[in-house]
Amino acid sequence: QARRWRRFARALPVAEQRQAVDFKAAREDFPILREEQRPGVPIVYLDNAATSQKPLQVLAELNRFYRSDNSNVHRGMHTLSIRATEAFEGARAKIAKFVNAADPHEIIFTRNASEAINLVAFTWARANLREGDEILLSVMEHHSNLVPWQMVAKDIGATLRFLGLTPEGMLDVSKLDELLTERTRLVAISQVSNVLGCVNPIQDIARRAHSLGAKLLVDACQSVPHMRVDVQQLGADWLVASGHKMCGPTGVGFLWGRAELLRAMPPFLGGGEMIDEVHLDHFTTADIPHKFEAGTPAFAEAAALGAACDYLSGLGMDNIQAREHELTEYLWRRLSEIPGITMYGPTPAQCPDRAALCSFNIEGCHPNDLATLVDQEHGIAMRAGHHCTQPLHRELGITFSARLSAYFYNTVEEIDTAVAAIKDTAELLKGFA
């Protein structure tokens, strides 16, 4: 029966990309963008690096699944179970197509990207790393791509090493050859920083890491939703992403890995679904992907994530990236007009493909106060804090920062509203200082 679902998944098509997109019309797919903070004050949602909003097409698929197909997957011969399994495995195929995986078998469903990284850390790393081995990270990593490696390194006796930043706030790859040694077994790095917005040269890092026999894991949470990502071209060994940042539901993400690596890795969790045979004194594992999917999966959420892939593919990832490039330049220019502002990361001129986010501080204003007041008074949804990157903030010499982050459905008018609100609020806060 499992072979049947894999054949079905390989045959399932994904929506074709269009050449031209009306992004103003696309906003109508997101009913939450019409919400108000209070009567007459619309919410301006610029917190997309934390989570994206969900289009009607994704909400409809989640509702359709529960209304029409709900049943546990893989373990039933009845109609509903078959339909649920087809939706679940169909979503796997859509994700594989979305990131150009060689086969749907290479896509492992997880709760989120954090779990996907932990999966690699607690299987491959613990089975292959030894005392004295080195793991190369960067100072800009999200805690999810740092803490699991700290845990592994502490238990095994491995050493963590870190790439730093250039003065412009980009990854300092000039130190890569110095930090990559014959002791390096793994490089784990983000493709796009959730604070600095810079895009890291993954293909070059992959080539240089592999030349020394090291493996590469890529945190693609801030890239997969915003640009075309081709896992075969990147040259990585594993890549992780979260569904909720790419117009999908919460509670589901995925790990992509090279099939030969996944098959060689020990299982992560034990239980139903991940087994082939179970005896009283031993068990054998199922083949990938089910080997790493113990227990009942988030099958409804997976189906909705497949719908999100359809939606984004329909808009076209190149179109989305081009749209966000326009928003990035405008956001950076407008924010730079605010007196006393310090912005982190490279300018659009220094990194033309940088993400549509900007982290900043304003002299005399605590980011938490700023974020609270612009929401309460102006309906601006923005983020304040360390953005799960405390070491990076220490590297920058700060404790917290504010962050605006746009997605394709945002507009220049919303950026104007947000900047005006931030400017007025900053003046107010400075008056109380």
Instruction: Give the catalytic positions in this structure.
Output: 388
Distance CA 80, CA 122 (A): 35
Question: Residue 388 — left, alpha, or beta (φ > 0 → left; ψ -120 to 50 → alpha)?
Answer: left
Tokens 């605010």 — which residue? 338
| Residues β-bridged to residue 384 | 402
- Of 237, 238, 296, 225, which Cα lies nearest the Cα of 48? 225
Tokens 């959730």 — which residue? 194
| Residues β-bridged to residue 284 | 277
CB-based contacts of 401: which residues, under 8 Å, 6+ apart? 195, 344, 359, 360, 361, 367, 384, 385, 386, 387, 393
Helices (H) and strands (E) in the chain, counts: 16, 17
CA diameter of the chain? 72
Q: Specify whether the CB–CB gap between 123 and 96 falls below 8 A.
A: no
Helix (H) or strand (E) holding 381: strand 380-381
Distance CA 221, CA 230 (A): 14
Identify the three-state secondary structure at position 338. coil
Distance CA 331, CA 195 (A): 15
Angle of helix 56-64 relative to helix 299-315, nearest 10 degrees? 150
DSSP code at position 287? P
Is the Cα dihedral 421, 422, 423, 428 positive or negative?
A: positive
Q: Where are the beta strands (DSSP E) in 100-183?
A: 107-110, 134-138, 159-163
End-to-end CA, the chain: 68
Identity of the amino acid at 354: R
Residue 381, phi then psi, degrees to nearest 5: -95, 110
